[in-house]
Amino acid sequence: MSELRIEARQLCKNYGSLVAVDQLSFEVGTGEVLGFLGPNGAGKSTTMKMLTGFLAPSSGTALINGHDIVTDSLAARRCIGYLPEGAPSYGEMTVRAFLEFVARARGFAGKRALNAAGAAIERLNLQGVVEQPIETLSKGFKRRVGLAQSIIHDPQVLILDEPTDGLDPNQKHEVRHLIRDMAEEKIIVISTHLLEEVHAVCNRAMIIADGRLLVDDTPAGLIARSRYHDAVTLVVEQPERVASVLSELPQARKVELREGELTVFPAPGQRLFEVVSDTVRENRWAVAELRLEAGRLDEVFRQITRGEVS
Ligand SMILES: Nc1ncnc2c1ncn2[C@@H]1O[C@H](COP(=O)(O)OP(=O)(O)OP(=O)(O)O)[C@@H](O)[C@H]1O
Ligand SMILES: [Mg+2]
């Protein structure tokens, strides 16, 4: 299989005086599942629309497997499956008719179109609603129809704008499983507001705000930026007393009491978990919970997008 590649080169999109996407450059390769994170209005959907050829960049461009999205748009679009934000159009069509229509538009003829539609129906568990007009489906089912049309031609590159938005917990789980399943031989770019989704499916994450790339890292790298990384949190009776003892530990930089939880932050280069659990045992404190913190992605997200220190 040839190497797949997305290359965004200084992508820009202006709406009047608003700069929605500002000089975005990045490369993505086979096997990468890249998550776009960012606040509302950050420019995630706009970037995805440009990558998929639905929106012309104001300047800059992107190459999809070497095909320029501006000058060679058709070839670029052939490599791509795209789940746009919102619900599929063609609301009056039944699910089956719509997916067969998409399959034919993607170049499948006769029986092969029916088979492609059938396979997508099965992968997204749509068997129960195939004869229903799309506009009569619930939000989550509409989303699944959108996902089904995006994978119908087994594209090399998948661009999914909030793929699990509106899905129930079981379907979220299924769709994340599906994404991981397909990831090895494709490039997958998703946008999401669910930070746990980044952990569950992505091996790379980009944080975007005001159209600009702020961070490009692995999920583990992101979480390690949290000030909670390697901290120890306890839920304990008489937390004030416990806090004053723990704050005397030479390995502790700081102790914070917040919403009934006590968090001890390590001094630079120090490990805390053992010494804290030893201290708990020695003092026979009644501890309901004691945990080593990996880091908190929501706090990292806030810090990076709002320059906030919690
Ligand atoms: N057609 C348009 N005309 C004018 N402004 C637009 C248009 N489409 C998007 N914008 C603006 O561009 C900016 C980026 O929007 P975009 O939809 O890309 O954000 P997003 O990161 O996908 O946000 P969300 O998390 O809410 O989906 C926003 O300020 C938005 O209002
Ligand atoms: Mg969006």
User: Computed from CA positions of residues 296, 301, 307, 310, in that sequence, does the dihedral angle turn out positive or negative?
Assistant: negative
At 22-61, the pLDDT tens digits run: 999 999 999 999 999 999 999 999 999 999 999 999 999 9
For the residues 226-249, what does the mean pLDDT come to?
95
CA of 256 from ligand 2 middle (Å) equals 36
Average pLDDT, the chain: 94
Type of residue found at 188: I
For 265-295, the pLDDT digits (tens) are 999 999 999 999 999 999 999 999 999 999 9
Provide CATH 3.40.50.300 ranges for the chain: 5-223
Distance CA 178, CA 225 (A): 29
Residues 6+ apart with CB under 8 A from 36: 44, 47, 48, 189, 190, 191, 192, 206, 208
**pLDDT(308) > 80:** no
Nearest CA to ligand 1 atom 24: 40
* 309, pLDDT greater than 60: no
How far does the centroid of ligand 2 lie from the alpha carbon of residue 84, in Å?
9
What confidence score (pLDDT) does residue 83 get?
96
Residues with CB under 5 A from ligand 2 (ion): 44-45
Residue 272 is classified by DSSP as -
Distance 251 CA to ligand 2 centre (A): 44
User: Going by CA atoms, what residue is nearest to atom 17 of ligand 1?
Assistant: 45
The yes-or-no verdict on residue 205 having pLDDT over 80 is yes
- pLDDT beyond 90 at 306: no
Please name which of 290, 279, 270 lies closest in space to residue 241, comparing C-alpha atoms.
279
Q: Is the pLDDT of residue 310 over 80?
A: no
- Rounded distance from Cα 45 to ligand 2 centre (Å): 4
Closest listed residue to residue 54, CA positions, set 81, 26, 92: 81
For the CA of 44, the nearest atom of ligand 1: 21
**Percentage of the chain with pLDDT > 90?**
93
pLDDT in tens, 83-113: 999 877 888 999 999 999 999 999 999 999 9
Q: How confident is the model at residue 173 (pLDDT cuts 50, 70, 90)?
A: very high
Mean pLDDT, to the nearest integer, of 158-177?
94
pLDDT of residue 2: 64
Is 3.20.20.100 the CATH classification of the domain at 5-223? no
User: Is-contact 175 201, C-beta < 8 A?
Assistant: no
The pLDDT value given to residue 86: 82
* Predicted TM-score (pTM) of this structure: 0.91
pLDDT of residue 118: 97
Does ligand 1 come within 6 angstroms of the Cβ of 207? no
Whether 42 lines ligand 1, by a CB cut-off of 6 Å, is yes
pLDDT score, position 260: 87
pLDDT for the residue 104: 96
Q: Which two tokens mark 87? A: 């619900």
Outline which parts of the chain fall under CATH 3.30.70.100.
232-293
Question: What kind and span of H or E run contains 133?
Answer: none
Is the pLDDT confidence value at 1 over 70?
A: no
Model pLDDT, residue 46: 98
User: What is the pLDDT, as a whole number, of residue 87?
Assistant: 74
- Return the CATH fold of 232-293: Alpha-Beta Plaits (3.30.70)
β-bridge mates for residue 8, sequence order: 26, 62
